[in-house]
């Protein structure tokens, strides 16, 4: 989730007004038979989609075939894009859920199960590498879950274990908010926030308990020092479920080349975020220029609701954000491929994957990437850059499967030791 919270951008100054929004043409990337064949023999895995917000707040049905729906994920779109497994993000807005993080976490987990129960012929809950492979054989979408933001555990190791038992297979140590044991990149410059210089001792215990349980440690969103603490602590490979490259776009959410090399050494994987604000410097600049006005528009809406004693409506905020995003020209498709290519070159081909952030970026994705149905275009673009079929399959999901398998193996070892 990269939703623009007011606090994230309150520090940014308004700059000159933007070039007027241009009509966006979807780039024409024809997917060849060769690319299709690679897709068909791959297990395509995406490690981050925020669709559960839609399940819960909008009552969205993943079986929807509504042609006017602008969402990135549906069973139909997943099928067209050959998507084999999706890690659905369990993201609890820390501002609107103060005092009941766990309750909202459970509600979101429930929303994923309910969708799987509604569509047993095309979707199944998955909790392991074996489950993903079984779903693939049965031509069903494997539905996995990752918690986005350590605040969900309410500083309670029992809750962490309960989430594992319910099927959560990764946790992002922080979202954009620093919690009580991990610093976030989202507020690291905010003097009003109490920081910890990375992970606290309890935070390190959380990482080790995740290792023991077999829950992947996700370092997307965390502050740089938290990243380095996590990588020094973990006994298993870790993931960046939805992060891009800072050498190409200077966003604190993106990873430096040193971090990419450290993840390679750790044996982990960095799954590239498709969000235009993370993959294209021009888009990011335009976004920063409008940040103050956008934040003011959202604040006005939130204040008016508060004045009426009404709860904040996620759908409405998302609509406002989409309107603002749509004013900025979409980056070319190649911006996304440049990040995959950069990470493959710096970290190595075994350490890059896909972490779209679908349904969490207010519609702001590069041209030609309108939904999960467009995923095969990535294969085509990588072929066009000279990548081999074997290497492409690693990027599409092979690397994530390897890391997940390794995390399962480390868990088995640690559990055996602790008995
Ligand atoms: Zn996110």
Segment 42-82, tens digit of pLDDT: 999 999 999 999 999 999 999 999 999 999 999 999 999 99
Q: Check if the beta carbon of residue 95 is closer than 8 Å to that of residue 5.
A: yes
Q: Cα–Cα distance between 318 and 324 in angstroms, integer?
A: 10
User: How many whole angstroms from 151 Cα to the centroid of ligand 1?
Assistant: 14
Q: How far apart are the first and last CA of the chain?
A: 38
Please tell me the distance between residue 360's alpha carbon and the centre of ligand 1 in angstroms.
Answer: 7
pLDDT at 25: 41
Spacing, Cα 415 to ligand 1 middle (Å): 30
Question: For residue 353, what are its two tokens?
Answer: 């994957």
| Residue 265 Cα to ligand 1 middle (Å) | 24
Name the pairing type of β-strands 352-354 and 216-218. Answer: unpaired
* Ligand 1 mean position, distance from CA 344 (Å): 22
Distance 216 CA to ligand 1 centre (A): 16
How far apart are the CA of 2 and the centre of ligand 1, in A?
A: 5
- What residues pair up with 85 in beta bridges, in sequence order? 45, 142
Please report the DSSP string for 237-296 in residue order: --EETT--BTTTS--TTSBPHHHHHHHHHHT-EEEEP--HHHH-HHHHHHHHHHHHHHHH
Please tell me the distance from the alpha carbon of residue 296 to that of residue 320, in angstroms, as a whole number: 11
Instruction: Give pLDDT, residue 28.
Output: 64
- 118-158, pLDDT tens digit by residue? 999 999 999 999 999 999 999 999 999 999 999 999 999 99
Q: How far is the CA of 48 from the centre of ligand 1 (A)?
A: 8
Output the CA 417–ligand 1 centroid distance in Å. Answer: 34
What is the Å distance from ligand 1's center to 207 Cα?
Answer: 19
7 alpha carbon to ligand 1 midpoint, in Å? 15
pLDDT score recorded for residue 310: 86
Residue 222 has φ and ψ, to the nearest 5°, of -75, 160
CA of 295 to the centre of ligand 1 (A): 18
| Nearest residue to 239 via CA among 389, 412, 45 | 45
> What does the alpha-carbon distance between residue 222 and residue 276 come to, in Å, rounded to a whole number?
20
Which positions of the chain have pLDDT values less than 70? 1-28
Distance 89 CA to ligand 1 centre (A): 8
Compute the distance from residue 189 Cα to the ligand 1 centre, in Å.
18
Ligand 1 centre distance from Cα of residue 416 (Å): 34
Q: How far is the CA of 178 from the centre of ligand 1 (A)?
A: 14
Q: Distance from the CA of 279 to the center of ligand 1, in angstroms?
A: 14
Ligand 1 centroid, distance to 325 Cα (angstroms)? 17
Give me the pLDDT at residue 27, please.
Answer: 52
Rounded Cα–Cα distance for residues 44 and 401 (Å): 10
């Amino acid at each position: 989730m990269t939703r623009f919270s007011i606090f994230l951008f309150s520090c940014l100054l308004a700059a000159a007004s933007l070039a007027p929004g241009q009509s966006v043409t979807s780039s024409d990337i024809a997917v060849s038979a060769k690319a299709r064949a690679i897709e068909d023999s791959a297990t395509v895995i995406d490690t981050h989609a925020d669709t559960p917000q839609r399940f819960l707040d909008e009552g969205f049905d993943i079986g929807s075939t509504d042609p006017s729906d602008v969402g990135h994920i549906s069973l139909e779109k997943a099928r067209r894009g050959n998507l084999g497994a999706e890690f659905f993000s369990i993201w609890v807005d820390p501002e609107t859920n103060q005092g009941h993080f766990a309750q909202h976490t459970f509600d979101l987990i429930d929303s994923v199960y309910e969708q799987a129960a509604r569509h047993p012929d095309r979707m199944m809950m998955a909790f392991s590498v074996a489950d993903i492979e079984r779903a693939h054989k049965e031509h069903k979408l494997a539905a996995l879950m990752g918690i986005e933001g350590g605040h969900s555990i309410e500083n309670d190791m029992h809750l962490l274990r309960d989430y594992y038992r319910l099927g959560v297979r990764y946790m992002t140590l922080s979202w954009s908010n620093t919690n009580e044991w991990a610093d976030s990149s989202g507020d690291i410059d905010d003097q009003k926030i109490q920081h910890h210089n990375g992970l606290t001792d309890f935070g390190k215990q959380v990482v080790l308990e995740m290792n023991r349980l077999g829950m992947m440690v996700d370092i997307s969103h965390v502050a740089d020092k938290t990243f380095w603490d996590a990588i020094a602590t973990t006994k298993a490979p870790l993931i960046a479920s939805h992060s891009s490259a800072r050498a190409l776009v200077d966003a604190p959410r993106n990873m430096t080349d040193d971090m990419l090399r450290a993840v390679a050494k750790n044996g982990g994987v960095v799954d590239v975020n498709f969000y235009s604000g993370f993959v294209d410097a021009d888009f990011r600049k335009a976004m920063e220029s409008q940040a103050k006005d956008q934040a003011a528009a959202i604040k006005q809406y939130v204040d008016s609701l508060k004045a009426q004693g009404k709860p904040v409506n996620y759908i409405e905020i998302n609509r406002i954000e989409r309107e603002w995003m749509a004013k900025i020209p979409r980056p070319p498709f190649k911006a996304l491929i440049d990040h995959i290519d950069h990470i493959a070159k710096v970290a190595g081909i075994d350490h890059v994957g896909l972490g779209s952030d679908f349904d969490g970026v207010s519609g702001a994705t590069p041209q030609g990437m309108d939904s999960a149905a467009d995923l095969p275009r990535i294969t085509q673009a990588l072929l066009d850059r000279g990548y081999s079929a074997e290497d492409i399959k690693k990027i599409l999901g092979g690397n994530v499967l390897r890391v997940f398998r390794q995390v399962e193996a480390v868990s088995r070892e640690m559990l055996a030791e602790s008995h």
